[in-house]
Each structure stands twice: as C-alpha cells, then as structure tokens.
Amino acid sequence: MLNLKKAAQTGLLLYLFIPLFASAQQFQNPIAVDANVRIGRLPNGFTYYVRKNVEPANRAYLYLATKVGSVLENDDQRGLAHFVEHMGFDGTTHYPKNELINYLQKAGVRFGADLNAYTSFDETVYQLPIPTDDPAIIKNGIQIIRDWAQEALLDPADIDKERGVVLEEKRYRSGSNERTNQKTAPVIFNNSRYSKRAPIGTEEVLTSFKPETIKQFYHDWYRPDLEAIIAVGDFDVDEMVEMIKAKFSDLKNPEHERERAVYAVPLNEDHQFAAITDKEHPTTYAEILLKHRFTPLVTEADYCDAMIQQLFNIMIYNRFQELKNKGNTEITNTRAGVGVYPGAINVFNANVTTNTPNLEYSLKAIWRETIKAAKYGFTKDEFTRAYNTFYGSKIYANQHRDKTKSLTYVNQYLGNFLRAEPIPGEWEELKLVQYFLPRVSLLNVDQFGNQFISCPNRDVIIIGPEKDKDKLPDMQTVEGWLNDVTNENTPKPGAKEDDKAESAKKESLIAKRPSKSKILSQKTISGVNVTEIVLSNGLKVVLKPTDFTTNDIRFTAFGVGGTETYSISDRLSAVNAIPLIRTSGLGDMDATQLKQYLGNRAVSVSPFLDRYLEGVSGSCATPNLELALQLTNQYFVNPRKDSVAYATYLEKSRLTSLLRLTQDSLRGRKNPAKISLNRAFDIYKERFANAADFTFVFVGDFEVKEIIPLLERYLGSLPSANAPSNSANLKPPAPASHRTRTTYSGLEQKATVTLEFLGDYSYNSENNNQFQALTEVLKIRLTERLRQQESGTYGTNVYYNLYSFPANRFTFTINFICAPDNVEKLTNAALDEINKIKTAGPDVVNIEKYKATNNRLMETQLKSNAFWLNYLYNQYLNKTDVSDVLNYQAAEDKVTPESLKTLASTFLTTDNYERRIVLPEAMKK
C-alpha cells in the first residue's frame, strides 16, 4: 500500500511528454475533454469525475484521490502521510475499529486484492471496487469514501496497534533496493525535498510520534479542495452525481488553511555522479539521466509535441533493444526513453546492466547510441515503423472503445486530477492524431532528440556489488569516457547499412504452406460452449470462442514429459533447451530477422519445457491468428540452432538465477552436469516430435468454423506417432516429513517463514473447492490474528496447489515476513489458528465472507479469457469434467464449518509439515 517508484517508469503514457516547439497560434486551443465524463467541482473545492461504463457489468470503481503525499510532511511527520492511509482502514466515523474491512468482506470485496490504497510523494489514493446490483452497497461505498476524505478517527489505541503493522511494512520493504534508493535519491532529486521524504518514513517517527502530530497532518491536508472522488461503472450517472453532491458538499476546508506548495526538483545545469555499492546488489548497473523541466500539456500544440516525443521513445527503445541483442557478452540488459519523474522533471534515462565492474565498454556503448540519435537522428524505415505502431494503437483504442475497461478510465481521471494530464477520450484523441500525425516528419523527431539530448543537467549513477567497490570507475574517468564518445568521429549510419538490413529481411516464415489434414472427431460441450476436436495426427484441440474482449485470442498447449524425463547428466541441457530455441530465431530466420519479420504485429508464441510438461503458449489479435499458428507450426517442425547467439546467451546468463538455481539443485549429485548445445537441441526436438502428445486450448475472439481450416493446416500437419508417447517414468515430489530447515541470508533484521503441508490427495472438483474455501477462510483469520491482533507482520500469504498429474498431490502453504524474534510466536499463532479449525471448525462468518467473495469473483471471471484458458488447461491436464465450473454454487453449498474441519484434520497434519525459515546472515552461529 505504498508506491515509491510509480513515476520512475519510461512508459508511453501521454503525461510523460513535454512541449518542444514554439507552435503556431491556431493550435493554442486547449485539448478537448472527453464528453462522456461528468466533471464538477463543489463550492468547497471537492472535485468529482463520474462516468458510466459497463466493462465489467454490475461493478463500479470508487476512488478517493488526494493531492496529499509525503512531500507535505514536516520533519517530525516523516512517514505519516502513509500512516494516515493505513488509519483509513482502522476506524472511521461510520466504521469504527476494523468494521470497514469486515463490512466489505461480507459484501464480497477482498481486503488487499480489491480494497486497497497507496501513498506516494505527492498523492494518496484509496480504491474501492464494489458490486452495483445492491443499492445499499453503493450508498455505503460513497459513505466510505466520505469517511476516508475527512472522518478517520485516529484513535490513540488504534494508532499504537497500527505502528507495528507499518514498521513491519518497512521491514518487508527493506533490503538492497531500498538501501540503494536512499543513496541515489539525493542525486536524482538534487537534494530537494523529494530526496528526504521517502513515503515509508523514518523508524524514529513511526515508533514515537504522538497522536496530535498525525491529527495535525490529517487536519491540515485532508480537505475538500485537495480531494476528488472518481466513480466509473455500471450505474446511473445523474443519481451518482446527486449522491456525491449530497454527501460531500458539507466537507469543510480548515480555517487559515496551509498553502499546498508545489515542490520542484531544482535543475542546476551541472553534472552529478554517484557510484554506490551494496553487499546484496547482484549485478553492475549504470544509468545516465538528462533532466529537463516538465510542464503539463494544455494546448493542441502541446499534444503534437507530446506525440513527437512518443515517436522518439519508440525509436530509441528499438535502438537499445538492438544494442542488447547485438552479440556482445557484457550487456545483459539496456534500455532508454523519456519519462516524467516526481518533482516536475522530464528525464531521458539510458541504462545498462552488465556482468562486469569494468563499465568502459557498456557506458560508452549506451552513450554512443544516445549521441548517434542526437547527431544523426533515425532512418526513414525506423520512422515508418514507429509511425505505424503509434497510429495503429490509436485506431485500435478507438475501434474498441466500447470494450474499454472501467479501470482504464479511472487511471485517466486520476492522472487528470493529480497531474493535469489531458483526457480527450478515444474519439477526440484520434481526431488530434489524424490531424497532426501526417504533419509530423522524421525531421521533427530528430530535432526533438537533438535538443533533448543536448542537456546541461546530466547525472551518472552506478550501482554495483560491495566486492567491486575498488573496481568501479570514478567521476573523472566516466566523464572522460563520455567526452571521448561525444567527440568521436562516429560515422553517420549510412544508406549502406540500411540496405544490408533490408536485403537480409525475410518475406515469409514458411517456405511452403503445409497441406490440410482432416478432423477425426468433433464434439461440442454445451453449457460451457466448448468444442473438442481431434485432428488426424492425434492432436487434440479445445476451443472456447468468446466475445469478452475484442481481438484477443490466447492459447496454451501441453504434452506430458518435461525435463524430468531425462537423466541427471542430461538435465542441464534439458532445462536450457528453451533458452537455446528462443535465442536462435526460427526456421531460416535468426532472432533479429524474426523480430523484423514480426514487426509490431500483436502476436506472441513461445515454447516451454518444465519439469513434467512441454508445450507452447501464445496470444494474438484475431487478424494474426494464422501467423500465430504458423509460428507454432515452425516451433514444432523447424526449430533453429544458432550457436553464436546461444554462446552469448550463456555468457550473459552466468549470473542469472535460472542457471544458478539449476546448478544448485543438481549440486552434489553424481555426473556433474554440463550443458551441451547439441544435446539441448536434440532434447527439444524429441519433446516436440509427436503431435499426438499434445492438447491445445484456444480461448477468445474467433469463430469455430473459421479457425478449423487453419488448425487442419498448421496443427493437423504436424508429424506424429499417432498415439501418445509413454510417460510412465515421471516421479512426483515426495511428501515432506515434519522438520524445520533454517537458512541464513540478508543484511536486514528480517525473517521469512514458510509453513508447508504436502501430501497425497484425491483430485476432484469437490475436494478442490473445499481447499479453496479453507485457504480463503484461513487467510481472513490469519490477517486478523497476525496483522491486526499481534501487529507482527505486514501480510500473510496462504495458497495451495493441487494436482492429479504427475501424481495426486497437494501443497498448502502459509508464508509471512516478520522480526527474527517473532518467528516462534507467529508460527505458533498460525498453527493455533489451524488447530482451532481442526477442533472447533472455522467461524461461520468467515465462510459467509468466502462465499460472498467467491460469488462476486466468479461473476467477473466467467467473462474473462485469462480465467477460461487457465481453467480449461487445468481441467484437461487433470482429466476432470469441463462443466464443473457451472456448478460452483452447488459446490459452495457443500462448504460448511464441519466440511472444513474435516478437510483440515485430514490434510493439515503435523507428520506432513515442513517449516522453512530464512534468518539474517548475522544470526548464523
């Protein structure tokens, strides 16, 4: 419930852009405001945004936005903007103590997943999604927003209880990132207020502030002229506006109110440098920042400038992607772009992650790309591609505006209220784009890049592991490198280079289209509207056409096998087979050619290989379905082996967790594992050799009769043994015995505790449903006990995994972070809660909360492609009835205190329980 780095993104959002050109007089009209949103301001200054939108139906999002964040804190209030946010859930006039959470859970709203809030430097935002088919819930929802706006009770006893929770949140967030952020903030924010107001605050203030201090903060800043309600959803707009007027008009601004100052990071026209090391920072990272003043977009001319910046961002992003893929071994990641940071600065950020503390090569490389863009701009080809991407996204948004999600609008209105971002709406925006875009030339973008990069405010920040402290360069060295590059006689990227890229470009993925096969059988399962097809090669396809999201198709395929099919000596080659395939391109195309060929078309297909399964997952827009199937086909029949690309990948991944984890898991076994390129490739081909092993699930915006001919051609033609392969040798994990395993890691006073129950299981929908209910009920109970009652942890995770494949097994896991001294106390509290369920059964009210939540969740999930894909995949993998989902309410009826008592007693026993604890390094004896 805290958002520290929200603004430090280099996305392509509109508000990220600054005006550039002195524009012609006639474009000084303000940017239009979307006519579909009702915006108003009450006499006390309270603002409202109200819009009807029915995606999803029967739901509304009510948000309270405040221009109140940590920059407004006095020195003795550091952390209290965020603390106030927490107190909004700990007692308000109409919902004392924890009644707010309690009431909403009964209405089917989850605490955390639905009901939430965040605090940042300049804002605090509270979010409340509610069902709208019950007028009482809407009315109470508005009351809750009003309670947050000015009626938090801030009771001293409740404050003391919450101190522990907020301190635990601070502990939860502590670590390498937090430590390095503290050291880079003074440079990035030029020692302004932003560098001294991390929203989480100081331990000193959080442990010892007096109730009057937080009350003063609340009184000074929680006032109608700094607040807005945003309401988007399936309701009557006139009624909503009336309710808002009736509820918020009497909010009062304080007498002699304090001025809400706007703080800006100063720009000193100089170069700054920081080289920071941290014991737990795993790689070497460097970034170059060029800082400009940000001013909001107001006029149509500003919009045009913003568009130019957006085109620049697309092109520079692509250039840095190429740099990353170029075959050098030092650069593991790199990107660049312009975006807005807190403190009204617009920043060009070029960064690089490397596997060596010697940064000369990588820093010079990213600065060279930057200078090249400034000096010579981009090519016509790059411009055309960026232009099409940008224009395509606007056309798409406009065509599908009736499917725009309510949350999308909420985020736009938050941006408008908090940061004065324009909200023209899809239609007006498309008109602006259609007017201005044809008038924008490559020259405009090149000029923008040149001006933005010629910047006197330049920071270089380096972060590395502590062990490299003496190896990192100092400021003088880095300045020398960058000056050398600036003065280099870089050759202008000439026509020749472009020609080469053009000639290498491939025109098609498949040399000869495979011929169509036939369907062996086809049946439709009514109710769930699923069609099952078996193709002549034995490959099975499951089709679920939907109209939930226009132009959205997702699919997954699985076959039984996976890396566990192979002996230990082959295992490392097996787990690296997929990276080999992914880095090697496909068919006749290397990775770069494949990327060029796909361009910016909305299509993504990737094969996978995990312990017991192999398969393909993908997604595409409807017009790209054939292309997606061609890619899938080629991953089966025409994978590519690129030894150069693969060697680069291996070198780069020396430090990545994948390789490390794999090596760790195999350590100490006989036959020390080696990776063989040829063996990895053969293993991949072996896993994808028999089409009859695979079941494909397609969900989304397609017609069955239109997809069938494509399936016959691209999947039906895959080679096959016509019967599934033998997969009898797979061994599932063994159940744990009762024990505690302790490991030591980390510098902070922080313990991570995992309690896991694991054992045999009978997989069926009734058991699964009981497990889900037990998980939700225990989650509610553990939040009350460990967070609210003991103030011992920021949050508790409870989750489960159920399988019938490769064997009938369950795992049930509880996980939390706490102070090392509290490990035993909180473990015992968690086990005590489980025991209570085993002996007395759970509280009836928590079962009611579970049912309310689950019913609300199912209403929306049954209209979600992602849900259906996951659901069908699991039903087919575990060979369970596809129609189960339709009976969820009947299954719910079988959840009773008695049934959960039995379930917990059967499965959560001490002889199949393991506790894993991670304690700080310093506690190792």
C-beta of 83: minimal distance to Zn ion in Å? 8
Q: Which stretch binds Zn ion (CB under 5 A): 1-9, 334-342, 557-565, 577-585?
A: 1-9
Q: Which of residues 119-178 bind Zn ion (CB under 5 A)?
A: 169
Q: Residue 483 CB: number of other CB atoms within 10 A?
A: 11
Residue type, 750: K
C-beta of 216: minimal distance to Zn ion in Å? 20
Residue type, 818: C
Cβ–Cβ under 8 Å, residues 345 and 266: no
In the complex with Zn ion, the residue whose CB is nearer, 207 or 665, is 207
In the complex with Zn ion, the residue whose CB is nearer, 151 or 169, is 169
In the complex with Zn ion, the residue whose CB is nearer, 124 or 617, is 124
In the complex with Zn ion, the residue whose CB is nearer, 1 or 275, is 1
Instruction: Give me 499's structure tokens.
Output: 């020609």
**Beta carbons within 8 Å of 577's beta carbon, 6+ residues apart:** 609, 680, 681, 683, 684, 687
Cβ–Cβ under 8 Å, residues 694 and 716: no
Q: State which residue has the least CB distance to Zn ion.
A: 1
Binding mask 664-683 for Zn ion (x = CB under 5 A): --------------------
Residue in this structure with the two tokens 């995992």, named with its chain if needed: 754
C-beta of 220: minimal distance to Zn ion in Å? 21
**Beta carbons within 8 Å of 159's beta carbon, 6+ residues apart:** 83, 87, 90, 211, 214
CA distance 159 to 211: 7
CA distance 230 to 11: 23
Phi, psi (rounded to 5 degrees) for 512: -135, 125
C-beta of 214: minimal distance to Zn ion in Å? 14
In three-state secondary structure terms, 611 is coil
In the complex with Zn ion, the residue whose CB is nearer, 173 or 291, is 173
C-beta of 304: minimal distance to Zn ion in Å? 40
In the complex with Zn ion, the residue whose CB is nearer, 98 or 695, is 98
Burial of 799 (0-12, 13-18, 19+ CB in 10 A): exposed
Binding mask 577-616 for Zn ion (x = CB under 5 A): ----------------------------------------
* Beta strand ranges found along 779-900 (DSSP E): 796-803, 809-818
For residue 545, the surrounding DSSP H or E stretch is strand 540-545
Q: Single out the residue of 86, 60, 62, 82 nearest to residue 71, CA to CA.
A: 82
- The single-letter DSSP state of residue 762 is -
C-beta of 120: minimal distance to Zn ion in Å? 11
C-beta of 833: minimal distance to Zn ion in Å? 23
In the complex with Zn ion, the residue whose CB is nearer, 111 or 481, is 111
Beta bridge partners of 556: 617, 697
In the complex with Zn ion, the residue whose CB is nearer, 112 or 599, is 112
In the complex with Zn ion, the residue whose CB is nearer, 1 or 84, is 1
In the complex with Zn ion, the residue whose CB is nearer, 116 or 283, is 116
The vertex-377 CA angle with 371 and 379, nearest 5°, equals 135
Burial of 285 (0-12, 13-18, 19+ CB in 10 A): buried
C-beta of 82: minimal distance to Zn ion in Å? 6
Cβ–Cβ under 8 Å, residues 143 and 438: no
In the complex with Zn ion, the residue whose CB is nearer, 79 or 562, is 79
β-pairing, 695-700 vs 540-545, is parallel
Cβ–Cβ under 8 Å, residues 98 and 789: no
Give CA separation, 333 vs 320, 399, 468, 480, in Å.
9, 35, 19, 23
In the complex with Zn ion, the residue whose CB is nearer, 66 or 416, is 66
CA distance 618 to 872: 15
In the complex with Zn ion, the residue whose CB is nearer, 235 or 816, is 816
**Beta carbons within 8 Å of 307's beta carbon, 6+ residues apart:** 17, 390, 433, 436, 437, 440
C-beta of 73: minimal distance to Zn ion in Å? 15
- The single-letter DSSP state of residue 733 is P
Q: Single out the residue of 463, 408, 381, 391 nearest to residue 180, CA to CA.
A: 463
Cβ–Cβ under 8 Å, residues 369 and 488: no
Cβ–Cβ under 8 Å, residues 371 and 363: no
2 binds Zn ion (CB under 5 A): yes
C-beta of 736: minimal distance to Zn ion in Å? 34
C-beta of 1: minimal distance to Zn ion in Å? 3
Q: Single out the residue of 765, 798, 767, 731 nearest to residue 874, CA to CA.
A: 765
1 binds Zn ion (CB under 5 A): yes
C-beta of 86: minimal distance to Zn ion in Å? 6
C-beta of 2: minimal distance to Zn ion in Å? 5
In the complex with Zn ion, the residue whose CB is nearer, 2 or 578, is 2
Instruction: Give me 546's structure tokens.
Output: 């939907």
In three-state secondary structure terms, 439 is helix
C-beta of 169: minimal distance to Zn ion in Å? 5
80 binds Zn ion (CB under 5 A): no
In the complex with Zn ion, the residue whose CB is nearer, 4 or 625, is 4
C-beta of 6: minimal distance to Zn ion in Å? 14
Q: How many residues bind Zn ion (CB under 5 A)?
A: 3
Q: Residue 393 CB: number of other CB atoms within 10 A?
A: 15
| Site for Zn ion, rule CB under 5 A | 1-2, 169
